Amino acid sequence: MKINGFTIWLTGLSGAGKTTIAEKLCLALNKRQVPCETLDGDVIRENLSKGLTFSREDRDINVLRIGFVAALLSRNGVGVIVSAISPYQEARQQVRAKIKNFIEVYIKCPIEECERRDVKGLYKKVRSGALTGFTGISDPYEEPRHPEIICFTDTETVEISVNKIISYLEEAGYLPTLPLMDTLQDKSINEA
């Protein structure tokens, strides 16, 4: 089966689990011999969008740049996994309109849990006043209206979230469905 390129767009608050899911999903796709590339919002901002602020306009520019790269890769048969807050619905819709096989995944997690995790120490900076314009606290996050998938990372394991995405890709015809025997063998290898 020829693999068609696609873009999995993980959106959600800082600390919701986007990067963790993206990394595990990429490993799962690599295991299936699917060419895969991750585009992390922080990495893109540091390398492709250096100098942009966190104004709405600059955030949208950053999202559109990520979308441009994702479109190039996916139209050439690559499975692209984007992990970026991408807080505004309009910018996400613009990207969706430009990418043929676009799958929006809402990485949903209550802000209280994201703040408890505080992986990057950003919430602490916000609460101390050292950081302003922070998505979900002093800047809005517009939840996706109709995402293809929702992962509830406060109640699901990373594996459950990744399996939801893999199942969607199989059902939508982007990935071949693994025979039950292969799935069981993969599971036993992971548990060993």
- DSSP calls for the chain: -PPPPEEEEEE--TTSSHHHHHHHHHHHHHHTT--EEEEEHHHHHHHTSTT--SSHHHHHHHHHHHHHHHHHHHTTT-EEEEE-----HHHHHHHHHH-TTEEEEEEE--HHHHHHH-TTSHHHHHHHTS--S-BTTTB-----SS-SEEEETTTS-HHHHHHHHHHHHHHTTSSPPPPHHHHHHHHHHHH-
Catalytic residue among 14, 74, 86, 161: 86
Q: Please tell me whether residue 40 adopts helix, strand or coil conformation.
A: strand
Largest CA-CA distance found in the chain, in angstroms, rounded: 54
83 is catalytic: no
Q: Annotated catalytic sites, by residue?
A: 86
